Structure formats: structure tokens, C-alpha cells
Structure 1
């Protein structure tokens, strides 16, 4: 997820960046943050899909955040905007530009956290990750990159499109890392599959988009099939994953 911070105050830019990074660390979210000290520099680099979220200070010396937001809306109406300002004077104008939120300085981390939760709900595009120890080093793995996971010889194996990450840990310790993400289905002993990568299924297996086959537990076959059917129904009716 790409985020821009536009504010002519160095202190305010740094405060916001530090708190966004804190949010990313606490919630296991990946964001690329770019800061700008003026609106012209930001607009010169902005194009459609450049940023998913822009934080805009309303009062800047050479231009206003409201003016910048109007330009954003002309170029990219899907980009989320959160205003940061020392005055409530422009709140109505801000929300007419479909701003996601309006943070009044000095705002707290908890207020920013609430705004980012709202952004996550609106976008469903935050890039969550898990962190695994691989050998002597820790590796971050994006949730959306995981195809399936299994367990072999005391190692968790996380299969992605690019490689397999192996981490020495029990499946009981690993499973809760993915348990809160609805796209993961426990389909047989010590194996979880990302349902976004399932292409089809037959009487015994899930067939993945990679052409790999993942067995379906015989003892829990009906339960597993129903869970997958419910997930597909949610995807079809909402146009997005749950």
C-alpha cells in the first residue's frame, strides 16, 4: 500500500510518519510512505493509482490541502484522503471531497489508529504479513502471497508463487498466525490453503491455480466443502473477499 504525507511542517510530517510506522508494526501491515513538504511537489509526482492513501495538511504556505484534494479527485477518485489540520474551518468542504477523515491537530496515536482502521474497512487493500524465522533471519511474508502451508519434519513450509519459506516451529504455534484471515481453510492435518488460489475441486482434492492438488480431509469433507462454498458466495455477492 502506497501512502503520501503532504505537510509543510517538518515536525508534523515526522510525527505522522512515526505513528504510521507504529501502526504498521503493531498491526503487521506493510506501507510504503513518501513525504512531501509542499503541494506542488506532490502534484507533480501524482498520477492515477500512484497512492492508495494521502494525508493532507489543509493550511500550507503556497497552497491549500483543499486545492490539492480537488486535483486528486480530478485524477483519481479512488484514492483515499485524510486531512490533518489545526482548524475545523474546512471540515464541510473536506467531506464534500469524500475525505475519509479529518484529524484535528494535535491528534493522538489512537485517533490516527481509528482513521487507519476506517481506511482498511473502506479499501480492503492493506497488505498484511506474517513474520517467520528462517534459519538465523526473520522473513516477512505477505498474506496475499501465500498459496498454502504444510508441515514436514518439524518445519512449517509456506508455499508462495516465488519460493517456499521453511521455519522451525510447530503447526499449533503457526496456525493462529493465519487463523484471523478468512481466506485460509484448514483442509487436512497440518495444512492450510488460501482459498483465493483454489481453481476447482473434485471428490478428493482442491486443484490450485498452480495446478497443485491439496487433499481434502475425508473426516471433515462436508464441513470443508461448506466453508469453501460460503467463501465463494461471499466473494460473488460482495465483489470482494470477506
Structure 2
């Protein structure tokens, strides 16, 4: 799940991040938080289907939250928007962009949870699924079952714990989809690994939980290992 926080008040973004982390600490839901300090900054990189949920402040300098929301809705009417404001005067106007919820600052953790629970009721926190065709069969594979990705005989190989699916979809097509999820890491050209499947970091390899090993890019191995360490550190903090 990918969440954006668009707010020009740094302290309010910090508060929201802490609430989100605490909310998901008891839920087995992979997520990513991206912060933006203005509507312009967010819209400059926003593309359809990139975000699941957007927390959007209304009173911001230059482009305000309502104007930003209208542009978001034009590009992606399916994304969920939760407004945040120090005033309730835009409550009615928020319906025009099909806002999910309206948080009145300063809001409590309980009010935040109500907004998240409403999202769960409407959209749910389902594990992402990769759709592809293998040996003429349509396959739906939940992300947590994917260990790593590489190529075998000019076909993309999707490795699970004890099975390998071959598909004619290109490596770049599938890796571009999976890389939107924080769990996946490109460890060398043509090899993508699910960091949740890693059991041990070796000198030039990642050893996976099923005993398989995936090679690291030799020149960038320190950077790749650091990325994995950062991922694991984030996960440990969520359990605190």
C-alpha cells in the first residue's frame, strides 16, 4: 500500500507518519509512506494508479488542497483522499472530489483510526497480486509468495518457495510492477529479489529462506546490502 502525505507543516507530517506506523504495526500489510510539502511537489510526480491513499492538507501556500484534489481526481478518480484542515468550511466541498474522510486539525489518534478503518471497509488491505500467463494458464500470485525474478531461456522466471513459473512477459514489464512495492530490490541486472525472502547476507550473494542464492552486482554490492539493511531496520522499528 502506497500512502502520500501532502502538508506544508512539517510537524503535522511527523504526527501523521507516527500514526500510520503505529496503525500498521499490528497489521500484516506492506506499506510505503511518501511525504510532500506542497500540492505542486506532489502533482509534479503524480501518475494514475501510483498511490492508494492520500492525506491532503487544505490550507497550503500557492496551490491549496481543494485545487490539488481536483487535479488528482481528474487523473485518478479511484485513489482515496483524506482531507486535513483547521476548519470544517470545506467539508461539503470535499464531496465533489469524493473524499473518503475529513480530519479536523488537531485530530486525535482515535479520529485517525476512524479514517483508516473507513478506508479498510471500502477498499480493504489485500495483499497485492501479480497477474501473468504461464504455460497458457492465467496465474495470480500474491507478492509474498514471490522469492525472486530472473530469466531462463529467454523467458522471465518467477521463483516461489518451491516452484518456478515461466512467462513470456518481459523481465522489465514484471519488475516495473513489483518495484513499486517496497519489498522488492534489484540486486543485479536481470535479478529482482523479495527482501522478505532473504535469510542471510553473504559476501556476494543473498541466501533465501528456501536455500537458493541470488547474486549481487559486484560493484554495487555494498549499496545493495545497505538497502536491505535499511529495509530490515524499518521493519524492526514497526514492531516497537
TM (norm. structure 2) is: 0.54
CA distance in 2, matches of 1:41, 1:5: 11
Q: Indicate the residue corresponding to 2:82 in structure 1.
A: 82
* C-alpha contact (below 8 Å) 2:127/2:143 kept by paired residues: no
Q: Indicate the residue corresponding to 1:117 in structure 2.
A: 117
Q: By how many angstroms is 1:6 displaced? A: 0.1
Ranked by relative contact order (alpha carbons within 8 Å, sequence separation 6 or more), the top structure is 2
Structure 2 stretches lacking a partner, 5+ long: 129-140, 146-157, 163-240
Question: What do you get for the CA RMSD once the two structures are aligned?
Answer: 2.1
- SS of structure 2 residue aligned to 1:115: helix
Q: Indicate the residue corresponding to 1:13 in structure 2.
A: 13
CA distance in 2, matches of 1:126, 1:64: 32
Structure 1 stretches lacking a partner, 5+ long: 129-142, 148-159, 165-242
For the pair shown, which has the larger CA radius of gyration, 1 or 2? Answer: 1
Q: How does 1:146-161 map to 2 (within 5 A)?
A: none
1:65-85 Cα distance to aligned partner (Å, 9 max, x none): 000110011100000000011
1:4 aligns with 2:22: no
1:205-227 Cα distance to aligned partner (Å, 9 max, x none): xxxxxxxxxxxxxxxxxxxxxxx
When the two structures are aligned, how many residues end up with a matched partner?
A: 138
Q: By how many angstroms is 1:145 displaced? A: 4.5
* C-alpha contact (below 8 Å) 2:66/2:94 kept by paired residues: yes
Q: Indicate the residue corresponding to 2:35 in structure 1.
A: 35
* C-alpha contact (below 8 Å) 2:58/2:85 kept by paired residues: yes
Q: By how many angstroms is 1:121 displaced? A: 1.4
Tell me which moved more, 68-77 or 23-32.
23-32
* C-alpha contact (below 8 Å) 1:30/1:126 kept by paired residues: no
1:142-180 Cα distance to aligned partner (Å, 9 max, x none): x94567xxxxxxxxxxxx96226xxxxxxxxxxxxxxxx
The structure-2 alpha-carbon separation of the partners of 1:112 and 1:161, relative to structure 1 and needing over 3 Å to count, comes to: farther
The structure-2 alpha-carbon separation of the partners of 1:127 and 1:146, relative to structure 1 and needing over 3 Å to count, comes to: closer
The structure-2 alpha-carbon separation of the partners of 1:6 and 1:117, relative to structure 1 and needing over 3 Å to count, comes to: same
